[in-house]
Amino acid sequence: MTAILEVKDLEVTFRVGPMMRRQDLLGVAGVSFDVNPGETFALVGESGSGKTTLARAVNGLQPISAGSVTFQGQRVDTLSVREMKPLRRDMAMMFQDPVGSLSPRMKVGDLVTEAFRIHRVEADLQSETERLLSLVGLTMDFAERFPHQLSGGQARRVGVARAIALNPKLVIADEPTAGLDVSVQGEVLNLLGELRERLGLAMLIITHNLHVVHHVADRMAVMYLGRFVETGPTEEVFSAPAHPYTAALLSANPEPDPDKAQDRITLPSEVPSLLARPAGCEFHTRCPWAKDKCRKVVPEATAINGRRVACHYPLDEGARPPPKKEPS
């Protein structure tokens, strides 16, 4: 199958600091992945892991410093904003803040059909409004409402309708359930799953919420300090995380089945600054399994049971209590 999106060795660098002491900060540090038609791929990580920067780079909203982004066979990282515009019909973005991302002065009917006007697509906007609202489970009377008259879940549905208006091939969704109650999160996730099946959409989901990933993603990548530490099929990663960071994230994710409940792995210390990346394995300052080699040698990503894992000592049986410290 030909991938709809291919990202190779992508890097994003920011120049930070006062004029005389400018420093380069590597926000995304050489990541590669692809997304197939109809597939959902999730980028997971704590805040500051680089996942949103990566998604913005894929969408052409963030310049890249190395690597490439190819969408439907065409390099897009070399395109200007103007050249990128027609491609945004096929690569739609859903922004994080469901209400804040909607113009407060526009009615829902105009919001869901705005893409037709932006891309100058001829259509019967009344029937498109009806079609789009129905696809996201809203009735036509919502067309006359303003964003402040919507609940968080309804606003998110409007955001979904906007994203799918022109039948894109890929939807990039940044924290699709952020700010929503748990029950509403489930409804939004079910909606995304249904639309994916119905419209054959590929999705790139960016989230720190592991429930979201488990619910919708076929494959996933776990990011730490702008790098992928583990990538693979979602079910396999969830059932037996091989990287200690993945295991820690999953252990912090309450397991609904008490028989499967795992001990929580508490990560000591804060996430290091991107301006002071640790030597060797960048996770070693927080890793309960770190050994001498980890502090000196950068681990290469290697294939383990269908996944790629960047760790010298991967966990072969999933999450387990960290080893007791040897007396010094």
Could you list the residues that contact ligand SF4 (CB under 6 A)?
A: 243-244, 281, 283-284, 287, 289-290, 294, 299, 311-313
What residue type is 68 in one-letter code?
S
Measured CA to CA in angstroms, residue 260 lies from 19, 76, 214, 241 at distances of: 53, 44, 15, 14
Structure tokens at 318: 């999933």
Residue nearer to ligand SF4 on the CB measure, 109 or 232:
232
Residue nearer to ligand SF4 on the CB measure, 191 or 294:
294
Q: How many CB atoms lie within 10 A of CB 223?
A: 25
Strand-pair category, 5-16 with 23-35: antiparallel
Residue nearer to ligand SF4 on the CB measure, 5 or 287:
287
CA dihedral 156, 161, 167, 169 (to 10 degrees): 0
Which letter does DSSP use for residue 68 in this model? E
Residue nearer to ligand SF4 on the CB measure, 261 or 279:
279
- Least distance in Å: CB of 282 to ligand SF4? 8
Which residues, at least 6 apart from 308, have a Cβ–Cβ distance to it below 8 Å? 228, 230, 231, 232, 301, 302
Return the residue matching tokens 């583990």. 230
Residue nearer to ligand SF4 on the CB measure, 249 or 294:
294
Structure tokens at 146: 């303003």
Residues comprising the chain, all counted = 328
Residue nearer to ligand SF4 on the CB measure, 117 or 296:
296
- Least distance in Å: CB of 253 to ligand SF4? 19
Dist. CA 138–CA 142, nearest whole Å: 7
- Least distance in Å: CB of 313 to ligand SF4? 4
- Least distance in Å: CB of 244 to ligand SF4? 4
Residue nearer to ligand SF4 on the CB measure, 44 or 150:
44
- Least distance in Å: CB of 31 to ligand SF4? 17
Its sign, for the CA torsion 40, 305, 246, 47, is negative
Q: How many CB atoms lie within 10 A of CB 277?
A: 14
Residue nearer to ligand SF4 on the CB measure, 175 or 282:
282
- Least distance in Å: CB of 240 to ligand SF4? 15
- Least distance in Å: CB of 243 to ligand SF4? 6
- Residue 243 in contact with residue 305, Cβ under 8 Å? no
Angle at 48 between CA 43 and CA 52, to 5 degrees: 45
For residue 73, count CB atoms less than 10 angstroms from its CB and return exposed for 0-12, middle for 13-18, buried for 19 or more: exposed
- Least distance in Å: CB of 297 to ligand SF4? 8
